[in-house]
Structure 1
Amino acid sequence: MSQTLPHALLRQAHIRGSAIALRYKRLGIWHERSWSEVAREVSQLAAALHQRSLGRDDDLLIISQARPEALLLALAAQWLGASVTLLDPERDNQALLNVLRPRFVIVQDLDTLQQLRERDVVVFLDGRGLSQYPDAGLIDYADLRTDASPPAHTPQPDATAFVFHAETTLRLTHAQLLVGARALVDREHLGADDEALAARVFAASGQARYLLAPWLHAGFGLNFPEALATRDTDRRELGPTLVLGTRESYARLEQWVRERLPLPGTFSHRVYRWAMQPSPSPLRRWLGYWLVRRPLLDVLGMSRLRVPLLVGPALNPDSAAFFGALGIRPGHWQEPASRHEPSDHLLPQSA
């Protein structure tokens, strides 16, 4: 049984090496990576980070949206025994960064770079614009390669895998993540044939607990949209079987559908309301499904959805009723007890 996240990756590469582990979209085209390819790249990245003196007891800071490169670098750092701190690029992280003073930083683009004042090693995930900083010592992800062999994988199960800073500082160990992953996989009957969409920001503990760790444990496919702006289109193209969301993300989808419904009072709107009402009649349920509910599921990219997951607060009653009428009842996962530390000490104290 896997003891750490990189161990779980190596296990999947051994069991189903040629199966698709990752898909990601670039310039409108989907690209695929097998488990063997992912494990090989993670080991190469681990060697490259090791050459730049990242090792046990270090912390790799990643400021990025959900991108496959960020995920691979996180696993590479954990291969070396380092922890990974994840920050949301859409938030103002300046006060926190002034205290953390990170040595090893991964940024997604130039806008994120502006938040950094001091740094030793900075890797760019999107190399566009690096020519503006010819003498800044920035590293393009595409150039982060080495022919050296990776060091042995040595992290312990109780080592910190991820660190999250919000109201409190949350540290998740490899063991915590994998124990939770096994529980979710068993309860939801997840397997290698499932497909998940990684559309949420990485800087959320639910993403690590309920998507990344289960992906490594169960071996299903993990898909990355091209950008947040394209996630709805990309979800319709993929038709994932697993969706992880918050109350806000489910409400956003509900609102998106409601804005496109026929005007009240029209015949089409009456058909919609008729089809969304529960009925004991098998014929009415069948007609309502094919006339309204199935087309709505197709529009949402949820026609193949089997495992809807919800982290955080429960859906509001309107959203729960809307998705329930479509046959979608998200499994609500409460955050288990974890090691928390107050994060007030990370912020400047007022005079």
Structure 2
Amino acid sequence: MTQTLPLALLQQAATRGAATALRYKRLGIWHPRSWRQLADEVGRLAAALQQSGFAREDDLLIISQARAEALLLALAAQWLGGSVTLLDPDLDLRPLLRRLQPAFVLAEAEAGVQQVREAQSPARLLLFLDGRGLDAGADPTLTAYETWLAGTLAAAPAHVAESTSTAFVFHDTDDQPPRRLSHGQLLEGARKLLARERLGPDEEALAARVFAASGQARYLLTPWLSAGFCLNFPEALATRDTDRRELGPTLVLGTRESYARLEFWARERLPLPGTLSHRLYHWAMAPGGNRVRRWLGHWLIRRPLLDVLGMSRLRVPLLVGPALTPQSAEFFASLGVRPGNWQEPGSQHASAGAPTRLLPQSV
């Protein structure tokens, strides 16, 4: 049985090496990567980290939105037996950074780099993905991710992580201790999710949210490595809705807030009240009705709305955290989308039993 996240990656590379593992979008073009390519790159990244002084039980701090580079570097740190701390770039992180004093940091853009500098962190390695606004020459510890990786020629080092090793560290609030998730905890949870949701290698998932949430690690990243499906990264947060429509993912992971955002976005596109189209919408979306009414409602209303939302192929909608508001639940249920609610362990909202999964009903 697979014991760590990097070993899960290596297993997928050995069994499904040529299959598409990941896609990322740059300048409007999707770039696919196979499992074998990902395993090779993570091995190179592990060698680069080792050359930079990263060792077992060190921590890599990542300040980034969902980016493929951030994910692969995280796996490389875990390959070496280290842990990964994920932080949200949209927050004021300076008090936390002053306390953590990270030695190894990946910051997506200038704002993250600036926060590390203002926290007077003694970073031995400070990598960035987007160099706009940065003067890398003024700081010897500041290096572009691509330049840093290109300078590594060493072979992949030995994999040293263990099942009990910490894989991810999450800081929810300053007054609470950090949450640490081991490789074993993540993989055990992924096996339960795969069995309950019947996830397999044919799924298409979209990684549209910031990684700084344990739900992403538990219910998206680890299941991706375990099941071997394709994980897609939008070009930017602003393009995620367009990219979702292009892809038509079969698996979506969201929170109450992200589902509410989609609901608001869809309602803005509904017919104006008082119009014939608006009356047709309410007639078609009303529960029940005969077969003809359901058929017309599907093709005239539900299917176009699902296309707009990028959910026309959706099979597994997942919800992490608090349940949807009654209004959102009713709206998505009218489209045949009923997110399965997976509570974080220890959440005050979590039930004592296993997570309840409500499958989308056909319409």
1:129-181 superposed Cα distances (whole Å, 9 cap, x missing partner): 44x23131211111233111121101110110000001331100000000010
The normalised TM-score by structure 2 is 0.91
Amino acid at match of 1:182: R
How far apart, in 1, do the equivalents of 2:163 and 2:147 lie? Answer: 31
2:311 equivalent among 280, 290, 302: 302
Q: Show the counterpart of 1:122.
A: 126
Q: Show the counterpart of 1:156.
A: 162
Gaps of 5+ in 1: 339-351
Q: Is the 8 A contact 1:81 1:154 kept in 2?
A: yes
Gaps of 5+ in 2: 348-363
Select between 99-108 and 280-289 the one with higher mean Cα deviation.
280-289
How far apart, in 2, do the equivalents of 1:226 and 1:173 lie? Answer: 30
Give the CA RMSD over aligned residues.
1.1
How far apart, in 2, do the equivalents of 1:144 and 1:219 lie? Answer: 29
Q: Show the counterpart of 1:66.
A: 66
Q: Is the 8 A contact 1:4 1:157 kept in 2?
A: yes
1:331 maps onto 2:340 in alignment: yes
Amino acid at match of 1:14: A
CA-CA distance at 1:202 after TM superposition: 0.4
Select between 272-281 and 187-196 the one with higher mean Cα deviation.
272-281
CA-CA distance at 1:280 after TM superposition: 4.1
2:138 equivalent among 112, 128, 135: 135
Q: Is the 8 A contact 1:45 1:144 kept in 2?
A: no
SS for the counterpart of 1:211 is helix
CA-CA distance at 1:228 after TM superposition: 0.7
1:220 maps onto 2:229 in alignment: yes
How far apart, in 1, do the equivalents of 2:91 and 2:300 lie? Answer: 42
How far apart, in 1, do the equivalents of 2:296 and 2:124 lie? Answer: 63
Q: Show the counterpart of 1:35.
A: 35
Q: Is the 8 A contact 2:17 2:34 kept in 1?
A: yes
Q: Show the counterpart of 2:57.
A: 57
Q: How does 1:57-96 map to 2 (within 5 A)?
A: 57-96=57-96
SS for the counterpart of 2:138 is coil
Aligned length: 337
Q: Is the 8 A contact 1:86 1:203 kept in 2?
A: yes
Select between 140-149 and 244-253 the one with higher mean Cα deviation.
140-149
Q: Is the 8 A contact 1:127 1:141 kept in 2?
A: no
Q: Show the counterpart of 1:346.
A: none
Q: Show the counterpart of 2:101.
A: 101
Select between 216-225 and 109-118 the one with higher mean Cα deviation.
109-118
1:70-103 superposed Cα distances (whole Å, 9 cap, x missing partner): 0000000000000000000000000000000000
The normalised TM-score by structure 1 is 0.94
2:249 equivalent among 234, 240, 249: 240
1:25 maps onto 2:25 in alignment: yes
CA-CA distance at 1:262 after TM superposition: 1.0
How far apart, in 1, do the equivalents of 2:55 and 2:79 lie? Answer: 9
Q: Is the 8 A contact 1:94 1:115 kept in 2?
A: yes
How far apart, in 2, do the equivalents of 1:196 and 1:251 lie? Answer: 19
Structure 1: which 4+ aligned runs deviate by more than 3 Å? 127-130
How far apart, in 1, do the equivalents of 2:289 and 2:314 lie? Answer: 24
1:161-209 superposed Cα distances (whole Å, 9 cap, x missing partner): 0000013311000000000101111100111000000001100000000
Q: How does 1:155-234 map to 2 (within 5 A)?
A: 155-167=161-173, 168=176, 169-234=178-243
Amino acid at match of 2:168: F
Q: Is the 8 A contact 1:184 1:214 kept in 2?
A: yes
